[in-house]
Structure 1
């Protein structure tokens, strides 16, 4: 069991708080650099002085509206020596052949098939299916019930909307925004 501090304090942070508890970890509080609020234990500067990295892990709950800021926070926290915890809900089904990076969040009922790679800071919402041999780039958000078919490669900082389907052998370019329900297949094939 780890002691987890969540970076962020808005709606997404409350979802992550529940996931922290479902995974059997201890929720310590939220970091918010701009606002006070329920469970907020201070700014990141405050937390660095009161909660040392050898005793606490951090989970990043900055949402998809600012993926660049999310990535910068991740880099800053790593430099300061904190472990950015990965959270995997107990009901998620993940092949043993998969590779899961730092700070990955996998929620209720997600399915991740054989030989997949989820790079650092990927968020997999409930019901997502990632099929065999796919690579999900850093800092991607995969919304509820989206489907990633086989041999897909999503580059860094992509948003995949709810119910979207990425067709097999597709590359999704960096910083793509795939709308909810969209079937995405137009880009070049993976070689």
Structure 2
């Protein structure tokens, strides 16, 4: 995980925030508190104090803290991205997280706010755009480019030289074959194998499993 000189504020208190918080505590980062409208101020959340709703952030100088976006990412849900935009407009910056149990090539490029979860493998020549999530156990092979605000769910596999646009969601366990391009704003459903380029703004879903025949005793 990258060294962060500034103390951290965690935005959100759901499942994604819990996973991020565990990684940060493991690395002994200084965490000032959790910001969420879903829990009462002063509540203990995994050993960290809840400071209040989003307005609690504004009690801190933007030059003296880094934010960690703990809001999860699902297709059609804008809360995570809207919060990032509004906080940046007020001068705040977002820290990146690289889980200590990930394997990242030394030349991989990361923009601000990237989150790489446990078991992530990223090979040489790749770049990850701003605020993107590379979730648990995802494997990204060489020379792959991932745009801003995209989410690769747990267990995704990208073969080499894949290009992923901005605001793309790739569901759990999906596989993308080498050299494929996926356009901006598209959604790849869980378990899908992508063999050809995907245009912007579409959903791709592999055929649901069907019963072929009944097995007799």
Q: Which residue of 2 aligns with 1:138?
A: 148
Runs of 4+ in 1 over 6 A off after TM superposition: none
Match of 1:26 in 2: 30
In structure 2, stretches of 5+ residues that fail to align are 44-48, 200-217
Q: Output the CA distance in 2 between the equivalents of 1:101 and 1:130.
A: 16
SS of the residue corresponding to residue 64 of structure 1 reads: coil
Deviation at residue 152 of structure 1 after TM alignment? 0.8
Partner of 2:78, secondary structure, is: helix
Contact 2:7 2:31 survives alignment (8 Å): yes
Per-residue deviation at 1:145?
Answer: 1.6
Q: Does the 8 A contact of 1:67 with 1:139 survive in 2? A: no
Deviation at 1:67, TM superposition (A): 4.7
Alignment-derived partner of residue 14 in structure 2: 10
| Larger CA Rg, structure 1 vs 2 | 2
The gaps in structure 1 that reach 5 residues or longer are: none
Instruction: Determine whether 1:58 maps to 2:67.
Output: yes
* Most deviating of 173-182 and 119-128: 173-182
Report Cα offsets for 1:38-97 as digits up to 9, x if no partner: 44312222320x222222110111111355332221122222222200010112111111
Equivalent residue for 2:131, pick from 113, 118, 121: 121
Q: Aligned equivalents of 1:7 and 1:144: distance in 2?
A: 21
- Is 1:172–2:182 an aligned residue pair? yes
Aligned match of 2:98: 88
Q: Within 1, Cα distance between the matches of 2:77 and 2:108?
A: 24
TM-score by length of 2: 0.79
- Name the TM-score, length of structure 1 as normaliser: 0.89
CA distance in 1, matches of 2:110, 2:163: 15
